[in-house]
Amino acid sequence: MIHRVVACAHANIALIKYWGKQTALGNLPATPSISLALDKLYTETIVTREEKGVDEFFLNDSPVEKTTKDRLLKYLNFWRSESLLDGTFSVHSSNNFPTGAGLASSSSGFAALATALGKFSNKKLNRSELSVLARRGSGSAARSIPGALAAFPVSANPSARRLLPPEKISWGMVIVVVNNAEKETGSSIGMELSRKTSPYYKSWIAQAHKDYQNILAVIKKDDFTKVGEITEANALAMHACMIATRPALVYWNGVTVDIIRSAKQWRENGLEVYATIDAGAHVALLARLDDLNKVAKKAKKIEGVEKAVICKPAGGSRVIKWE
């Protein structure tokens, strides 16, 4: 019997965003999404079988707060209710990047956890099944199972699939971390608020479907300019929907706007870089691999920027060891 499993998954940042659910049950997305897994942002999770009769959860060595604990407990109960798992466990997770500030921590967190639990399971789970199970924890986590460039369609029970392996992707991202980014309304609550109250929600969903089809076509042609243009426009359309939500979901701060404006200026001066922003104030800048150093250097000079992390494409989730 397996006693302990260590698994790892990389966070992903979406080029085409997931914002909106068909139904909250099972995290069925209302928008199809495309993402890039990033080598410098990852979660490592150690799951140990315990005889205590209760599950325990730790994040970066501290017990998790109640909301996270309830969510994780529900997640393990789901695995047990599907007869995929039995027994009780302690889960120790560590992120090498800030948690809960719009930096994709739930994508790598639930992907690493699902990968570890999969190793404990009596059932042999393939990558697609694992992606579905990761999605039950957090929608974006489905995409960190295949990693690299992943597509996550809208369907009755979707999983994410890999479009290209990391070595075939000629671009990466600079994650621009801004000072004092506050923890904002979480994605699950935010998406539901947008669905219920944003006058632009329907238009956003329709646009996301178009952007998804269009980006698939230009990825095939390896047309970086078009990939970048669709990526930036898609993120801004999502934020328009968020900002129009009542009460408004304004995830940006002044520095976010400065970075978006700078990217436009750099582009006009010949450095091809495109901005994308999640449910937080930080910005991810998409650029060709050869340009990442230059982009990071420039980004660090913007006032209010804490750091700029150069990220290359990463692979999928994996079990590192077990005993």
- The footprint of ligand 2P0 (CB under 6 A) covers 14, 17-19, 27, 33, 106, 138-140, 187-188, 278-279
* Distance of closest approach, residue 90 Cβ to ligand 2P0, in angstroms: 23
Strand order in the sheet with 283-288: 273-276, 283-288, 171-178, 305-311
Q: Among candidates 266, 263, 272, which has minimal Cα distance to 236? A: 263
Token couple for 226: 């078009």
Which pairing describes strands 88-95 and 56-59: parallel, antiparallel, or unpaired?
parallel
* Distance of closest approach, residue 140 Cβ to ligand 2P0, in angstroms: 3
* Distance of closest approach, residue 188 Cβ to ligand 2P0, in angstroms: 3
* Distance of closest approach, residue 318 Cβ to ligand 2P0, in angstroms: 20
Taking the CA atoms of residue 316, residue 101, residue 54 and residue 87 in that order, the dihedral angle to the nearest 10 degrees is: -10
CA distances from 157 to 32, 71, 117, 191 (A): 12, 20, 20, 19
* Distance of closest approach, residue 282 Cβ to ligand 2P0, in angstroms: 11
Count the neighbouring beta carbons within 10 Å of the beta carbon of residue 103: 24
* Distance of closest approach, residue 4 Cβ to ligand 2P0, in angstroms: 27
Nearer to ligand 2P0 among residue 87 and residue 186 (C-beta): 186
* Distance of closest approach, residue 1 Cβ to ligand 2P0, in angstroms: 31
Nearer to ligand 2P0 among residue 232 and residue 291 (C-beta): 232
Nearer to ligand 2P0 among residue 137 and residue 291 (C-beta): 137
Nearer to ligand 2P0 among residue 140 and residue 231 (C-beta): 140
Amino acid code (one letter) for 81: S
Nearer to ligand 2P0 among residue 43 and residue 298 (C-beta): 43
Nearer to ligand 2P0 among residue 20 and residue 118 (C-beta): 20
Amino acid code (one letter) for 15: L
CB 152 within 8 A of CB 18: yes
Q: E strands of 78-206, at which residues?
A: 88-95, 149-152, 161-164, 171-178
Q: Which residue is nearest to ligand 2P0 (CB)?
A: 139
Q: Backbone phi, then psi, for 159, in 5-degree steps?
A: -125, 165
Nearer to ligand 2P0 among residue 279 and residue 286 (C-beta): 279
Query: Partners of 46 in the beta sheet?
Result: 6, 92
